[in-house]
A and B are shown apart, each in its own frame.
Chain A
Amino acid sequence: MSSDVQFIDFKSDKQPTWCPGCGDFGTMNGMMKALANTGNDPDNTFVVAGIGCSGKIGTYMHSYALHGVHGRALPVGTGVKMANPDLEVMVAGGDGDGYSIGAGHFVHAVRRNVDMSYIVMDNRIYGLTKGQASPTSREDFETATTPEGPKQPPVNPLALALSAGGTFIAQSFASDSQRHTELVQEAIEHDGFGFVNVFSPCVTFNDTDTYDYFRDNLTDLAETDHDPNDFDEAKDRIMDPDGEYQGILYQDESSTPYHEAHGVTEDMTEIPDGAPENATDLVREFY
């Protein structure tokens, strides 16, 4: 790792095709800054994304990356980290990718506590398929596929993470560049699964959860007496139906990441030219 890495080194020469004003620009910039600030460089970083607007991120960033199938970015990140714990693994997703098709993987990645960061660009709508309800859309949010609203409560990703044993649960706002960067940085530095749900407004299809809405309604936990190490306090905030919070909701600082808990310390990329030295022991077991 070189210490002179700037966030610009994580930028590719490809111009994003996101809509002008999309929250994903700010989300991505914060991710790149956070990676640089934590001493990483593109050659030791692996970024995984799924499908959707969020899925494009690997193209716009410069690092080792995989743009996978819809909803399955977290398992890919898990495999990368297990095979080479020296890599900095960052997984990016959207609310559809992470909380709908990938909801099962989300819960299991949280409970495994794999040492990676998971940044979800939550715009509460399906953007790339042009404006259908997402799992985080409000109950009365009218869209092409839900003309009278979804008529079902939105998924609460923070609650899912907390109930699954999450060890780092944060929320940020794409437009508050400094706080967003800090929170992603904390997620990277956390020993375990660092989850950040990012309010990343869709300026084309969502006229409810807008920049102005978040500016007016977001409470920054850093400006309150919230103690992120207090599980019960975290639970109260997360289950508060009227609150929109920014900051670290919960963190277990004594968390042990999956690979350490399972004794995986070395990378798995070097193998001998032939069978392992003591491989004949395997045959003898069957005598």
Chain B
Amino acid sequence: MPADFNWAIGGEAGDGIDSTGKIFARALSRAGRHVFTSKDFASRIRGGYTAYKVRTAIDQVESTVDRLDVLIALTQRTVDENIDELHEGSVIIYDGERTSMQDLEIPEGMIGMDIPLKSLAEDAGGAIMRNIVALGAACEVTEFPIEHLGSSLEKRFSDKGQSIVENNKTAADLGAEYVQDNYETESAEFEYELETTDEDYVLINGDEAIGMGAIAAGCRFYSGYPITPATDVMEYLTGRLERYGGHVVQAEDELSAINMALGAARAGARSMTATSGPGIDLMAETFGLVAQSETPLVICDVMRSGPSTGMPTKQEQGDLNMTLFGGHGEIPRFVVAPTTISECFWKTVEAFNLAEKYQTPVYLVSDLEMAVTEQTFPPEAFDMDDVEIDRGKIVDEDEVEEWLDDEGRFRAHADTEDGVSPRALPGTTDGAHMSTGLEHNELGRRTEDTDIRVEQVQKRQRKAETAEAEEDWSPREFGNADSDNLVVSWGSNEGTIVEAMDHLDEDDPDFQFLSVPYLFPRPDLTEAVEDAEQVVVVECNATGQFADVLEHDTLERVDRVNKYNGVGFKADELAAEITEVLQ
């Protein structure tokens, strides 16, 4: 039996694929198993192929693989789409009573399990529960204790009333019983047996981790406009932020969203907006204002496939250039990109600290795969006691005095050694000042004086230099540090690359892997690149945006592995590609 187990449900959007997948994922996590999920969905509300895949193991899992052990197929297309991932011994659960599924041909060596999902669901109280019948059947096939499924159903449906919970449990039982009565799951043919443990795990996706990080960091104001795949950040915060003394506004558009967030930040609240690529474009003008007025703001970009509307529900890491260079003029900014789902939490906390310490906008860059993927972690991965808050140079009434000019005016953009000026929150006596996107003097007033222009540009640039020296911008290191081969990546590819390392055979090249969570400022990789014979940069875009940046930084040419078909890397495929480039 393999160390990990892979399960999927597929059908049409509107078939309840997502919630069924979540219920099963949560059942596994409640049973003390690690889980890693992935979604395949289309940009429509009903119809169109959609699937939810769950990989589970006793040890932590960091990526998906191209293998399916049990597949719940609600449509013929589900089987067609996944045929390459099915193998000898794979179980396909389907409802042969469904007209469209009557002619389903089960490929040789696989086990077709024809279960009257709809009829059994009706026996339990309603056809809508047919997916739950299938889940019950899957539990039986994998000898996974069905009470964990019951506990997950309880969590999912308890606010809809106990009778709904009971009906769903009955549906699951009927599915399990049907398999028991009609198939010999204890025979050698059925090789699955999902063990359980006593561990408590947190099952969370990247958007939720960002939202949770924001609350932990003391974010009080969030304004956003719904856009895939960033919307879950707003949905997570709505209602929860209010519990912690904050407020969420669904703005009329992205322009409004970032301007509201800017207003709240200037008033002194930790403030954030989140969007995806098209929204970042719309926000670009105000991004310049945020930087020029030296306002602390966290702007989260959950990337998807572009340009324009591109493929809104598909993966890409195409916005790096936009976040590094976007906006007119030259603008100091930080660009932070978490590399795992738990890092989404910590990097969000860090983004708020960086924003306030340096009074600079921070791009927090995530991507679709990280946003929609759910992964289990031990609760310690989100230890709230480790959250530190640094609000930077906020001055109170007494401290304001030090920063007044001869005429008693507050020098909000005072030219300091570290480039960071004092910050008087509105309401502070004698701190009144204007902020503007125009070039300004120390008082914040418009100027075209050439010397002051140079002084203020340098002051703002100096913040980045100070931060570069004071903060830790190290990459995360994996693999063999002595290897001649170096693989570099950023964002959500980390888990897949780590897994790909396990897939390499003895004869394949070994390598050191640096996963870079800071894109600006970023670690100086010159030495690592110079020491390596071969350098490969792995990223989900066509041109190799990070590879370009690395070449620029190190003046060395690097190789690239790029994927831009809308699907993230898979470990097996990546192992093969890295091997090919390095050999």
CB of A47, distance to nearest CB on chain B (Å):
8
B445→A282 contact, CB < 8 A: no
Interface residues of A in 229-287 (CB under 8 A from B): 259, 262-264, 266-269, 271-276, 279-280, 282-284, 286-287
Complex partner residue of A43 from B242, B263, B428, CB under 8 angstroms: B428
- Give CA–CA (A48, B260) in the complex, Å: 12
Query: Roughly how many angstroms separate A75 CA and B223 CA in the complex, as a whole number?
Result: 10
**Would you list which residues of chain B between 212 and 245 have a CB under 8 Å from chain A?**
212, 215-218, 220-221, 223, 240, 242, 244-245
- A180 part of interface (Cβ distance < 8 Å): no
A94 to chain B, nearest CB (A): 16
Contact A274:B388 (CB < 8 A) given known A69-B289, A75-B260, A83-B268: yes
Nearest chain A CB to B483 CB, angstrom units? 37
Also in contact, A268 and B259, with CB within 8 A (given A43-B429, A67-B435) = no
Q: How would residues 92 to 111 of chain A score, 1 for a CB under 8 Å from any chain B CB and 0 otherwise?
A: 00000000000011011000
Contact at B256–A108, with CB atoms within 8 Å? yes
Q: Which residue of A lies closest to B246 (CB)?
A: A268
Q: How many A-B residue pairs have CB under 8 A?
A: 212
- Number of residues in A with C-beta < 8 Å to the partner? 57
Q: Which of A43, A108, A268, A287 contacts B201 (CB 8 A)?
A: A287
Contacts of A81 in B (CB 8 A): 263, 267
A280 to B388, CA, bound (A): 15
**A44 pairs with B262, CB closer than 8 A:** no
B215 touching A75, Cβ below 8 Å = no
Query: Is there an interface contact between B445 and A14, defined as CB atoms closer than 8 Å?
Result: yes
With contacts A64-B431, A78-B260, A83-B263 known, is A283 near B212, CB below 8 A?
Answer: yes
Contacts of B30 in A (CB 8 A): 287
Bound: A106/B382 CA distance, A:
41
Which among A43, A82, A273, A276 is the interface contact of B432 at CB below 8 angstroms? A43
A286-B203, A286-B208 are contacts. A80–B267 as well, Cβ < 8 Å?
yes
Partner of B384, one of A72, A107, A108, A275: A275
Instruction: Return chain B residues, CB-CB under 8 Å to A203.
Output: none
Residue of B nearest to A84 (CB): B267
**B365: Cβ under 8 A from any A Cβ:** no
Identify the interface centre among A42, A48, A275, A276: most chain B CB within 10 Å of its CB. A275
Decide yes or no whether A76 CB sits under 8 A from chain B.
Answer: yes
**A283 with B426, Cβ < 8 A, contacts A69-B286, A79-B271 known:** no
| Structural contact, B263 and A274, CB atoms closer than 8 A | no
Is A30 interfacial (CB-CB < 8 Å)?
no
Task: Say yes or no for B389: interface residue by CB 8 A criterion.
Answer: yes
Q: How large is the interface on B (under 10, 10 to 19, 20 to 34, 35 or more residues)?
A: 35 or more
Q: What CA separation (Å) do A43 and B202 show in the bound complex?
A: 46
Per-residue 0/1 for A29-47: is the Cβ within 8 Å of any B Cβ (1 yes, 0 no)? 0000000000000111110
User: Within the assembled complex, what's the spacing in Å between the Cα atoms of A69 and B30?
Assistant: 50
Residues of A within 8 A of B202 (CB): 283, 286-287
Cβ–Cβ contact A268 & B220, under 8 A: yes
Chain B residues, Cβ within 8 Å of A274: 384-385, 387-389
Determine, out of A55-63, A128-136, A150-158, A208-216, the stretch whose residues face the partner at the interface.
A55-63
Using CB atoms, name the residue of chain A closest to B223.
A79
How distant is the Cα of A72 from the Cα of B290 in the complex, in angstroms?
A: 13
CA distance A93 to B303 in the complex (A): 35
Q: Which residues of B contact A79 (CB under 8 A)?
A: 221, 223, 259-267, 271
Report which of A78, A104, A264, A279 forms a contact with B263, defined as CB distance below 8 A. A78
Any A CB within 8 A of the CB of B106 = no
CB distance from A274 to the nearest CB of B (A): 5
Interface residues of B in 256-310 (CB under 8 A from A): 256-257, 259-271, 285-286, 289, 293
CA distance A271 to B29 in the complex (A): 33
Please give me the residue from chain B that is nearest to A107 by CB atom: B252
Contact between chains at A80 and B264 (CB < 8 Å): yes
Whether A87 sits at the interface, judged by CB under 8 Å, is yes
State in angstroms the CA–CA spacing of A286 and B212 once bound together: 11
Given contacts A79-B260, A274-B385, contact A86 B434 (CB under 8 A): no
Whether a CB of chain B sits under 8 angstroms from the CB of A77 is yes
User: Contact between A75 and B269 (Cβ–Cβ < 8 Å)?
Assistant: no
A13 at the interface (CB under 8 A from B): yes
Q: Say whether, besides A58-B434, A69-B437, A268-B247, A87 and B263 are in contact (CB < 8 Å).
A: no
- Among B251, B257, B264, B385, the most chain A Cβ lie within 10 Å of the Cβ of B264
Q: A72 is contacted by which of B201, B256, B426, B432 (Cβ under 8 Å)? A: B256
Does A160 make an interface contact (CB < 8 A)?
no
Q: Does B451 contact A (CB under 8 A)?
A: no
A119 within 8 A of B: no
Question: Could you tell me if B253 and A104 are in contact, using CB atoms closer than 8 angstroms?
Answer: yes
A75 in contact with B259 (CB, 8 Å): yes
A84 touches B247 (CB 8 A): no
Contacts A269-B268, A282-B215 given; does A43 touch B427 at CB 8 Å:
yes
Give the residues in chain A near B435, CB-CB below 8 Å: 65-67
Contact A83 B264 (CB under 8 A): yes
Does B98 count as interface, using CB distance less than 8 angstroms? no
A residues in contact with B242, CB < 8 Å: 263
- The verdict on A149 contacting chain B, using a C-beta distance below 8 Å, is no
**Residue from A65, A67, A87 in contact with B427 in the complex, judged by beta carbons closer than 8 Å:** A87
Given contacts A84-B267, A272-B218, contact A67 B259 (CB under 8 A): no
Q: Would you mind naming 5 contact pairs between A and B with Cβ atoms under 8 Å apart?
A: A42-B432, A64-B432, A64-B434, A68-B286, A275-B385
- Extra contacts, 13 of them, besides A65-B432, A75-B260 (Cβ < 8 A), are A46-B267, A62-B432, A64-B431, A68-B286, A71-B255, A75-B257, A83-B267, A84-B427, A104-B256, A268-B221, A269-B268, A283-B382, A287-B203
**Chain A interfacial positions (CB closer than 8 Å to B):** 13-14, 42-46, 48, 58-59, 62-69, 71-72, 75-84, 86-87, 104-105, 107-108, 259, 262-264, 266-269, 271-276, 279-280, 282-284, 286-287
Nearest 10 pairs between A and B by C-beta?
A79-B263, A271-B218, A269-B268, A268-B220, A75-B259, A83-B267, A83-B269, A79-B264, A76-B263, A83-B264
